[in-house]
Structure 1
Amino acid sequence: MKALVLAAGMGSRIRSVAGDLPKPLLPFGGASILAHNLRWLASAGVRDVFINLHYGADAIRAEVGDGSAFGLNVRYLFEPALLGTAGALANLGQAFDATMLVVYGDNLLRCDLDALIDGHRAAGAEATLALFDQGAHVHTGIAGGRVEIADDGAIVAFTEGEAARSPLVNAGVYAVEPSILDLIETGRLVDFGRKVFPQMLAAGRSLRGQVIETDGFCLGLDTPASHAEGQRLLAEGRIVL
């Protein structure tokens, strides 16, 4: 299994906490967010990881190196101009030749990745989004729209604001197939949430959501408030890394 970890963001909203560090290197619970995510991927059997880079690229390379300290083979994709969450995937070229995990590098998610992949493949989906329930899972700071799914897991709508009746939220971890590349222009800024997933939904393509297990959690750590809340949850023992 291969994974792409998105680590190219500017981190402007958390600069007061992170200083000059890129968001993925923000310390949390004795290690950087990125280090936690890499160890999580390795524990799930992932061996090949790609990390996209822009702001703080040299600092990330210095911390992670070739990935061997994490039991991984890490390769880097430097973006002179940001390509967005989906544009980074297109930048993989021929390395994206089978099911790929995409992980947002400034989130800390814990879920059963084997179960996510198994559900994705059993459904024959082109993309499967890990989802958390705002009323049931420990989480911090992740706003944005909600996801509505059918009984079989098929995504039927993305909703915002007052129309957002569903408690389910995108957790920032996806299983995706190379077939979605026809929706992503190489070398252009393309976002999953703003373009790729809505286009898939409109075209009736196989897009599904899978709610993470009950003891899973999703911490968005991209603002001072969400980072502080995550630290509180960690100190109280409500999350374990």
Structure 2
Amino acid sequence: MHVVIMAGGKGVRLRPYTSVLPKPLVPIGDNYAILEIVLLQLAARGFRRVTLAINHLGSLIRAFVGDGSRFGLEVDYLEERTPLSTIGPLFSMRARLPEHFLVMNGDVLTDLDYADLLDTHVRAGAPLTVATYQRSVKIDFGVLEAQGGKVTSFTEKPVLHYRVSMGVYGVSARAVADYPVGQPFGFDELVLDLLRKGEPPASYDFDGYWLDIGRPEDYDEANRRFHEIESRLLPAETAVRS
């Protein structure tokens, strides 16, 4: 029950909030940081070991989380000297990771059952399992197709539906075994590599609450709705602080 949390990004899209705080520490509601909610959730689901991959303002994350004991967790750190993207940090810590583990972004707000995701991943036998969520995108224009100078179809302001990655993955050691240490490597590259090798990732489809705190409008929405969703996000035994 080990999870690696990617918490080293600069959070460029969330500026100016991230000019003084790393994105995982921006406050949600009146009492919590995003990373704090994630750690409380992981502990409640039975996880005991957490590795935090840090870079931008990483000293603030170290100061806030410490050794993890106040969350009931054992926390260690991997400090990226250069940005290694979303998967690259794993290559230098392979020796201390179990055969199956969780990897997630440090800015995810969700009521996903992390333990069930990891258990489902192990049972699936896939090298990688991706937690997915359906998003709907409204196109504010009439969409048409044309061929040979003639319109062949037209749809007025369609709504498109996609399954997107939630930024939470079940990973098996073999999925990251063959890459050199220090190589920047993203989740997208890993998925494409596995597809080329004929080892397709599994999908863990989720329809609960999920919000990627990546843009100011998403962050504002999370704060606006936090009191509605707080009981879904936080373990029942967590006392609400005033």
| TM-score interval, normalised by the smaller of the two chains | 0.7 to 0.9
Most deviating of 225-234 and 55-64: 225-234
CA contact (8 A) 2:10 2:18 kept: no
Structure 1 distance, partners of 2:78, 2:230, is 35
Alpha-carbon distance, 1:206 to partner: 4.0
Partner SS state of residue 218, structure 2: helix
Question: In the alignment, which residue of structure 2 is the partner of 1:186?
Answer: 181
Question: In the alignment, which residue of structure 1 is the partner of 2:197?
Answer: 203
Superposed, 1:84-233 pairs within 5 Å as 84-134=85-135, 167-193=162-188, 195-212=189-206, 216-233=208-225
Alpha-carbon distance, 1:64 to partner: 0.3
What one-letter code is carried by the residue in structure 2 that aligns with 1:72? L
List runs of 5+ in structure 2 lacking aligned partners: 138-158, 234-242
Structure 2 distance, partners of 1:134, 1:7, is 24
What one-letter code is carried by the residue in structure 2 that aligns with 1:233? R
> Which one has the bigger strand percentage?
2
Alpha-carbon distance, 1:236 to partner: 4.4
TM-score by length of 1: 0.81
Residues 194-230 of structure 1: CA deviation (Å, up to 9, x unaligned): x111111122104111112xx6211111221110122
TM-score by length of 2: 0.81
Most deviating of 31-40 and 107-116: 107-116
Alpha-carbon distance, 1:125 to partner: 1.0
Closer, same or farther: CA 225–183 of 1 in aligned 2, 3 Å:
farther
Structure 2 distance, partners of 1:236, 1:42, is 22
Identity %: 34
Structure 2 distance, partners of 1:61, 1:17, is 19
What one-letter code is carried by the residue in structure 1 that aligns with 2:208? G
CA contact (8 A) 1:233 1:239 kept: no
Q: How many residues align?
A: 211
Closer, same or farther: CA 75–117 of 1 in aligned 2, 3 Å:
same
Alpha-carbon distance, 1:90 to partner: 1.2
RMSD of aligned alpha carbons: 2.1
Alpha-carbon distance, 1:166 to partner: 5.1
CA contact (8 A) 1:234 1:240 kept: no
Alpha-carbon distance, 1:91 to partner: 2.1
Closer, same or farther: CA 102–114 of 1 in aligned 2, 3 Å:
same
Alpha-carbon distance, 1:45 to partner: 0.5
Partner SS state of residue 120, structure 1: helix
CA contact (8 A) 1:125 1:208 kept: yes
Alpha-carbon distance, 1:239 to partner: 7.3
Larger Rg: 2
Question: In the alignment, which residue of structure 2 is the partner of 1:67?
Answer: 68
Structure 1 moving runs of 4+ over 6 Å: none
Structure 1 distance, partners of 2:230, 2:74, is 32
Structure 1 distance, partners of 2:43, 2:229, is 23
1:234 aligns with 2:226: yes
Residues 139-197 of structure 1: CA deviation (Å, up to 9, x unaligned): xxx9xxxxxxxxxxxxxxxxxxxxx965211001100000012453311110012x111
